[in-house]
Amino acid sequence: MREKTLREQSIDELYYNEHKTKNDFIKNSVLMIFIIAISIFVTAEKGFGIFTFLPLFCCYSILSCYIRLKNIREEIKSRLLHLKE
């Protein structure tokens, strides 16, 4: 089953997806901070290695959540502006 596009979703679905995506973004950000702290610690102790560049490999999830959240908020804003007119 494919997910509906943002234009096909109702305003309630958009608000639910915004809340869910915001929570995912916060969880991913906390996880990324933890990974960065481990990377800094390991790099300071043992020098450069794979753990030095680990945050670069993990940043995709944060960027995708951020872009999705931005798109959802723009869709909600456009619908609300449309209702005001």
Contacts 24+ apart (CB under 8 A), 54-57: none
- Give 67-77 pLDDT, tens digit per residue: 999 999 999 99
Can you give the pTM of this predicted structure? Answer: 0.81
What is the C-alpha separation between 57 and 60, in angstroms, rounded?
7
- Give 1-45 pLDDT, tens digit per residue: 567 788 888 889 999 999 999 999 999 999 999 989 988 998 888
